[in-house]
Structure 1
Amino acid sequence: MPPIDDASRPRVAGSVDLTPRQRMAGDHLRMIHDHFRGQLAALTRAVGSLLDGSGDAGAVRAEVHALAPALSAQQVAGLCGQVCRFLTMHHGIEDRNLFPAVAVLEEYAPVVARLAEEHLVVHAHLERVDDLAVAVAADPTRADELLQAVSDLRADLESHFAYEEVEMTEPLGLLGLGV
């Protein structure tokens, strides 16, 4: 899967001066993303321990599955464990509630459309990481593939988060939307 292309993203941010109060929703979004960043760092450590021989594939998968609260099996059918559920929940809230609200501001509609497309890319990464965590349990020689999958996930997710944090702060503040 090709990486998310930053150069093709629509850009709107920087056109509005927000008050400190209006910036609070963007700050909250960044805090949520920082939580995910921490969880992804933990996942990377788990994969590293697998590669250096101090861990096993079960530990990697447990790290993936420990990243989110439990949801019903129906909500997560076909997705990759708890990390996928948590990100799915986060992105689902954005897709169903936040993005349609922001899209009423015409200039931000292309941004929310792009962010929704990127959610699909992120979820493909998550499924690949979970699939490889299972595969490595049966065949430890595939650990390098898992490391690459985690690296790819982190790169695209960080790019997505950074873009969203920049582009969504203004519309969230203008509309008085909480996250």
Structure 2
Amino acid sequence: MTDFLTQSLDELSLDEAARPKAPPVSEATDIHRRQGRQLAAIHRHYLMEIAQIGAVLARIEALDTPPEHLKRIVLSLDMAENFRAFGSLCGRECQVLKMHHDIEGTDMFPRIEAAAGGKFREVVAKLKAEHEVVNELIIRLGHAADALAEDPSDGKFGQAAATFRKLEEVVRSHFGYEETELAEAIGYYLGSI
């Protein structure tokens, strides 16, 4: 596990150039690929939730809504409630994303690795490392939203907005990589998700 405490927001990255490619699953059919693309549908839901935060930030930047609304909206999103059980202030929306990553890491990834005889080990390791970056950004967004609600200054707003934008950038990139590299494996080895 990486120590993120010393890393700045800019240093939290996915190192896209170091992403290994998944081996082809030569036995996979178009039906398997369609089944594997179910992951993209799940990801679209999370991206819609993240877009809600972006819309609030845009309204605050346009001076259409007070900054304290960001905390209320972040805490009311679909992912937030469950994440609170793990001690984060980000809310349910963030929890569901973390839970999604936990399920992948403890169930889906090991099943793919086992069924494929370890051929996806490098891709899975990279995806798990990316999950850690996403989770750190979720925690930081929760803290930034709380700080903004306590002190709705331009500086606190700028920090919350920068953290959100970094989270959105990282999540979009991560989802794209995961969907591309695992579609065949999910469909062929798991049947669907």
Please, what TM-score do these two structures have when normalized by structure 2? 0.84
- Matched-pair identity in %: 28
Contact 1:56-1:137 at 8 Å conserved across structures = no
Match of residue 81, structure 1, among 91, 115, 118: 91
- Cα distance in 2 between the residues matched to 1:154 and 1:91: 16
Contact 2:25-2:185 at 8 Å conserved across structures = no
CA displacement at 1:53 relative to structure 2: 1.5
Where in structure 1 are there 5+ consecutive unaligned residues?
none
- Cα distance in 2 between the residues matched to 1:34 and 1:2: 23
Per mean C-alpha deviation after superposition, the further-off stretch among 59-68 and 103-112 is 59-68
The alignment status of 1:42 with 2:68, answered yes or no, reads no
Contact 2:23-2:119 at 8 Å conserved across structures = no
Alignment of 1:11-160 (within 5 A): 11-12=21-22, 14=24, 16=26, 18-68=28-78, 70-71=81-82, 73=84, 75-78=85-88, 80-104=90-114, 105=116, 106-140=118-152, 141=154, 142-160=156-174
Contact 2:36-2:186 at 8 Å conserved across structures = yes
Q: Tell me which amino acid in the other structure corresponds to 2:124.
A: V
Where in structure 2 are there 5+ consecutive unaligned residues?
1-10
Contact 1:50-1:57 at 8 Å conserved across structures = yes
Total equivalences in the alignment? 178
Contact 1:64-1:81 at 8 Å conserved across structures = yes
The SS at the match of 1:71 is helix
Query: RMSD value over aligned CA atoms?
Result: 1.9
Higher share of residues assigned helix = 1
Please, what TM-score do these two structures have when normalized by structure 1? 0.90
- Cα distance in 2 between the residues matched to 1:47 and 1:14: 41
Per mean C-alpha deviation after superposition, the further-off stretch among 9-18 and 96-105 is 9-18
The SS at the match of 1:125 is helix
CA displacement at 1:81 relative to structure 2: 1.3
Q: Tell me which amino acid in the other structure corresponds to 2:176.
A: A
